Amino acid sequence: MLNYLIRRVGYALIMVVLVSFVSFAIIKLPPGDFLDQKLAQLRARGDRSAEARIEDYRIRYGLDKSFWWQYSHWAINFVQGDFGESFEYEKPVRDLLGQRVTMTVILALATLIVVWALAIPLGVYSAVKQYSLGDQVVTTMSFIGLGMPGFLFALLFLYFAIRVLNVEALGLFSQAYVDAPWSWGRFVDLMNHLWIPAIISAVTGAGGLIRIMRGNLLDTLGQPFVEAARARGLKNSTVIWKHAVRIAINPLIVILGSEAFPSIITGNALVSIVLNLPTIGPLFVDALRKLDMYMAGTCIVLFTMLLLIGNLLSDLALAWADPRIRLE
C-alpha cells in the first residue's frame, strides 16, 4: 500500500508539472496578450499616458522577459505558495481565490452525495423492476439527464425555485453571511443554499451512473453466487443489498473518481456562472477570456490537483469496498 501511494504521489507531481507547463504555453499561444487588451481599453478612454502605463505593466508582471523565465518564475513561486498577481484585478491570485477553493470542494462533495443518493437506489430499482413501468420512467429520466446541458437545467431549475418555491437561489450565502466569519449560523445558511446547485449538478451527472448501476446489477444477479445465496433461503432484499449491490457498485466507484468527479468539477464552472456561486469556475472562465495567465494557470493546476486526489480516493475506496482488490 505504501509503495502504491508513493508511486501515485510521484505520478501526480509529474502530471501537475506537465499540465502547468502545457496550460501556460497554450495561454501564451494566441496573438497578443492581456496588455494589448488593456492598451485598447486605455485608448478608448482617451488616456494619453496609455503607452507609458502599459510599459509599466509589462515590467511589473515580467512580460518583457522570455517565456521560459515567466514560466519558471511562476512555477517556483507557486511551490512556495505565491501564485502570482492577477493582471485584471491587480491583486494576488491567492487572495482572489481565497474561499473559492473551499467552496468548490464543498460543492463537489455535496454533488457527489446527491449523485450517490440518486444513482444507487434508482439503478437498483430499475434493475430489480426490469422492463416495468417504473424501469421505463427511470430510464427515460436518466436519458434526459444525460442529454440536457447543465447550464440549461440550471436556468430551468432556477426559474422553478424562484417562481414556485420562492427560494433565494442565487449564491451560496444570504447577504448577511457573505463576508461573515464561520459560525453555526453561517454553516446553516450555506446548507440552505447548497442544495440547489448540488441538485442541478447531480441530475445532469447521475443519468449515466444510473444506467451503469442498472446494467452492473443485472449482470451480478445472474452470477452463481447470487443463485447460491437464494438457495440458502436468504431474503431477496438481503441477496440484493448485501451481496449483489456490493459487487455491482465497484465499477461505479472507479467511474466516480475517474470520470464523474472530473465532470462535476468542470461542469460546476458553468453552473456557478449561472447561479453566481463563489467557486473557482467563474474566475477561471474570466481569466481565459482576459488572457490573465497567472490566474488561469493557477486555476488549471488546482483543477488538476483536485482531479488527481479524486482518482486516488476512488482507488482507495474500491480497495476498501472489495477485499479481493490489492493495491500494489
223-271, pLDDT tens digit by residue?
888 888 888 888 888 888 888 888 888 877 777 766 656 666 666 677 7
d(C-alpha 246, C-alpha 240), whole Å: 9
Segments forming the whole domain that contains residue 105: 100-321
In this structure, is residue 6 part of a structural domain? no
* Domain boundary, last residue among 22, 49, 82: 82
Residues 204 and 116 in one domain: yes
Mean pLDDT score across all residues of the chain: 81
CATH classification of the domain holding 111: 1.10.3720.10
Residues 64 and 192 in one domain: no
In this structure, is residue 327 part of a structural domain? no
Q: What pLDDT is recorded for position 254? A: 74
Q: What pLDDT is recorded for position 28? A: 74
Residues 158 and 300 in one domain: yes
Residues 129 and 54 in one domain: no
Residues 218 and 142 in one domain: yes
Residues 118 and 51 in one domain: no
Q: What pLDDT is recorded for position 266? A: 64
* Domain boundary, last residue among 22, 53, 82: 82
Residues 291 and 254 in one domain: yes
In this structure, is residue 7 part of a structural domain? no
In this structure, is residue 177 part of a structural domain? yes
In this structure, is residue 165 part of a structural domain? yes
Q: Residues 126, 135: contact at Cβ < 8 Å?
A: yes
In this structure, is residue 13 part of a structural domain? no
Residues 78 and 104 in one domain: no
Residues 123 and 65 in one domain: no
In this structure, is residue 10 part of a structural domain? no
In this structure, is residue 11 part of a structural domain? no
Global pTM? 0.78
pLDDT along the chain (328 residues), means of 10: 76 88 80 72 76 81 83 89 85 86 84 87 92 92 82 80 70 78 84 83 82 90 86 86 85 70 67 81 84 86 83 74 59
C-alpha cell at 75: 512555477
Residues 104 and 227 in one domain: yes
Q: What pLDDT is recorded for position 263? A: 63
Residue 3, classified by CB atoms within 10 Å of its CB into exposed (0-12), middle (13-18) or buried (19+), is: exposed
Residues 159 and 225 in one domain: yes
Q: What pLDDT is recorded for position 32? A: 63
Residues 303 and 219 in one domain: yes
Question: Domain tally for the chain?
Answer: 2
Q: What is the 3-state secondary structure (H, E, C) of the chain?
A: CHHHHHHHHHHHHHHHHHHHHHHHHHHHCCCCCHHHHHHHHHHHCCCCCHHHHHHHHHHHCCCCCCHHHHHHHHHHHHHCCCCCECCCCCCEHHHHHCHHHHHHHHHHHHHHHHHHHHHHHHHHHHHHCCCCHHHHHHHHHHHHHHHCCHHHHHHHHHHHHHHCCCCCCCCCCCHHHCCCCCCHHHHHHHHHHHHHHHHHHHHHHHHHHHHHHHHHHHHHHCCHHHHHHHHCCCCHHHHHHHHHHHHHCHHHHHHHHHHHHHHHHHHHHHHHHHHCCCCHHHHHHHHHHHCCHHHHHHHHHHHHHHHHHHHHHHHHHHHHHCCCCCCC
